[in-house]
């Protein structure tokens, strides 16, 4: 049976999706609660926690204990892109940590445990291509994700990121998610809804758009599960 995992960082992000899991099977794994529905496919939902460490640990637990066929990370993000509007959908093509650095002048192997934090990790290309088709009638953006542990509301950092990397989106988890999927050989894709512009209005915008963004995540969830159910093996 096909196993599909949906993960979020916060209960705010999963609030409306969770309504569909009220009668789900509940499993506790190392402090992580997983809710599972079984039909022609197995659909699981878990809230992994905010920021990189919690999300990486949660993703790794899921990869090791459940071995899902695919994991979708759904959540909110900020945007540093002129053509991206609040509540637009973003498919994250790749992700990197922008709050880490190294003093080493030369690095030969970014896959070494010492330096892999510096690598940019891709979303699963197969999932990316088919998700583009799933949302062919919906406005979407395909952008890289910059990840850090802190919520970005600093216009100076925002400007520096844009000048260095160009248009992108920002969150606190996706680089950790993609890194864990990459080394665990699990297919993973992050799909985000924009809630703010990474500036002095970010906190106000985030909280004012929270409900609408969660509604958009529910729309995304329904479209994904419809596709996964139709292509069940």
63/96 Cα distance (integer angstroms): 20
Confidence at residue 204, expressed as pLDDT on a 0 to 100 scale: 95
pLDDT tens-digit readout, 31-66: 999 999 999 999 999 999 999 999 999 999 999 999
What residues contact residue 34 under an 8 Å CB cut-off, 6+ apart? 26, 27, 28, 44, 45, 46, 62, 66
Q: Over 90: is that where the pLDDT of 15 sits?
A: yes
Per residue in 74-108, pLDDT (tens digit) is 999 999 998 999 999 999 999 999 988 666 667 77
- Mean pLDDT, range 113-121, rounded to an integer: 83
Of 71-75, 193-197, 228-232, the poorest mean pLDDT is in 228-232
Q: What pLDDT is stored for residue 109 in this prediction?
A: 77
CB atoms closer than 10 angstroms to residue 209: 18
pLDDT on residue 65: 96
What's the pLDDT score for residue 210? 96
Residue ranges of the domains in the chain?
3-228
Strands (E) in the chain, as ranges, are 3-8, 25-29, 32-38, 42-47, 70-80, 89-97, 121-122, 140-147, 168-171, 187-196
pLDDT of 203 reads 92
The topology (CATH level 3) of 3-228 is Rossmann fold (3.40.50)
Chain mean pLDDT for the chain: 94
What span, in angstroms and rounded, lies between the C-alpha atoms of 200 and 89?
A: 22
Mean pLDDT over 2-22 rounds to 97
Sign of CA dihedral 170, 88, 7, 18: positive
| 134-161 pLDDT per residue, tens | 999 999 999 999 999 999 999 999 999 9
Least confident of 67-81, 94-108, 158-172, 173-187: 94-108
Residue 104 has a pLDDT of 65
Q: What is the pLDDT of residue 2?
A: 93
């Amino acid at each position: 049976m096909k196993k599909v995992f949906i993960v979020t960082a916060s209960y705010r992000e999963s609030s409306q999706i969770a309504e569909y899991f009220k009668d789900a099977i509940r499993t506790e794994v190392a402090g992580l609660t997983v809710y599972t529905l079984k039909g022609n496919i197995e659909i699981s939902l878990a809230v992994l926690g905010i920021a990189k460490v919690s999300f990486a640990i949660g993703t790794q637990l899921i990869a090791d204990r459940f071995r899902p066929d695919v994991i979708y990370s759904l959540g909110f993000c900020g945007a540093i892109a002129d053509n991206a509007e609040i509540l637009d959908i973003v498919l994250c093509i790749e992700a990197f940590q922008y709050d880490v650095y190294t003093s080493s002048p030369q690095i030969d192997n970014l896959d070494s445990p010492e330096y892999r934090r510096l690598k940019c990790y891709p979303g699963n290309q197969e999932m990316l291509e088919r998700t583009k088709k799933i949302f062919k009638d919906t406005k979407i953006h395909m952008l890289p994700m910059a990840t850090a542990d802190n919520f970005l509301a600093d216009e100076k950092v925002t400007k520096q990121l844009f000048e260095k990397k160009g248009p992108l989106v920002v969150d606190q988890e996706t680089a950790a998610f993609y890194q864990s999927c990459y080394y665990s050989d699990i297919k993973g894709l992050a799909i985000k809804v924009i809630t703010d512009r990474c500036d002095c209005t970010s906190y106000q915008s985030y909280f004012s758009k929270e409900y609408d963004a969660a509604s958009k995540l529910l729309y995304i969830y329904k479209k994904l599960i419809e596709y996964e159910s139709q292509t069940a093996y």
